[in-house]
Structure 1
Amino acid sequence: VTMVGSAGAAINDTAGDGATTVTWSADKIYDSIEAAKLAVTNSLINGAAGTLDTLNELAAALGNDPSFAATIATQIANRVRFDAAQTLSSPQKAQALANIGAVGAADVGDTERNFAADYAAAKV
């Protein structure tokens, strides 16, 4: 323990965080701050991959889009559903059909007519 001047506090690097009658050396204070910074950083990144452990890397991964949540919600809403009914505009229907290589009901013809019965009747 070393005294700093007659009215100063003693430097004691073994003193706890709550000590009020002694102080740490500059090196101990620096090391303590560095350890705290590392602990906060590790807590923030929580094991994230090295390519996603900074805010800049996260922003880049999200396309630097400040409205990312709204953008992705819009993109999800523009998907054709297969689990529920959906209302689509004519251009959306045409694009959906083209995407899956299908044709519309109007292109198929009369789906209610029994062509097998017509064929059987025509054979008589």
Structure 2
Amino acid sequence: MAIEKKAPELMNYSLFCGGCGHGVLLRLICECLEEYGLDKKTIAAIGVGCSCHLKSGISIDLIQSPHGRAAAVATGIRRAEPDKFVFTYQGDGDAYNIGIAETLNAAYRNENICVFTVNNGNFG
């Protein structure tokens, strides 16, 4: 007997290209947010490039950050809203090239944010 798993309620249509890891990660994030009851208390800081399509695919509060600055924006959100679950959603170029200082310094400071980085093969 086949078991059918229903799509997460947080998930909307996706503008990500078929075969790219973005769509898979979007679904996993939605499933986890719903499973842990974080769907109403989550804020995301998203990067530029392909990752900016997250705004069409998920029904949560989010802000699009300047190129490479999602970790810095997420740090500010988390400090202003300490009761929220805050995560970044960035591509590899955004997080590890232009944004490497923000990404590493958030880790050095042990900021209470979650950083999702997708290597979709488009950068370098």
Q: TM tier, shorter chain?
A: under 0.3
Give the number of the structure whose alpha-carbon radius of gyration is greater: 1
Comparing both structures, which one devotes a greater share of its residues to helix? 1
TM-score (norm 1): 0.19
